Structure 1
């Protein structure tokens, strides 16, 4: 379910996915197929990890990346979940054929 709330989305971000919701900062983002695909990839990731473990893993990996890169944005962009979503967001057919736990192949990639 897609909801619009400029108050729930952190400053500096356009959207936030918190299963089963996708929160958008602006209503116009609902029409952005690439952006929505990115957020739907996160929904799939959350489902695969049974939701709560996803958030635990996400935060843990973010902290690791923050120590590694020492910059918030670089740490965020190099989280395996984000790497997968950014790499595949333009492929609007991706979720139809996405392998189970596909984010794992991005775990070792650090190229943003």
Structure 2
């Protein structure tokens, strides 16, 4: 995992973006934010499990389905299974130690 602060890559309204093996952050202070880093590490694990490229295809399909269903970009984003898993478990800093393989399917 390589953490970089590059504010120009982060979409408006977000603080981080993960593309294995990189975590891109909006602000330098977020490099010490344990919950945000844990959220992004969960995405690293998800991407590894799906061999990276299929992760982004699946992510995109879920987002498009959410757009059709909710007609709202923000709501579509929050209803992506990968995001649900990451947001629900970002505060549990030990989550990745006990996480099951493909656990995002529960969401």
TM-score (norm 1): 0.94
Partner of 2:83: 82
Inter-partner Cα distance in structure 2 for 1:37 and 1:2: 12
In structure 2, list runs of 5 or more residues that go unmatched: none
Q: What's the Cα RMSD here?
A: 0.4
Partner of 2:59: 58
State the SS of the aligned residue for 1:7. Answer: helix
Partner of 1:3: 4
Inter-partner Cα distance in structure 1 for 2:17 and 2:35: 15
Segment drifting more, 83-92 vs 7-16? 7-16
Inter-partner Cα distance in structure 1 for 2:70 and 2:83: 15
1:1-112 matched pairs, under 5 angstroms: 1-106=2-107
State the SS of the aligned residue for 1:3. Answer: strand
In structure 1, list runs of 5 or more residues that go unmatched: 107-112
Residue-by-residue CA offset, 1:61-84 (whole Å, 9 max, x unaligned): 100011111101000000000000
Inter-partner Cα distance in structure 1 for 2:75 and 2:10: 19
Inter-partner Cα distance in structure 2 for 1:48 and 1:75: 23
**How far off its partner does 1:10 sit?**
1.2
Aligned length: 106
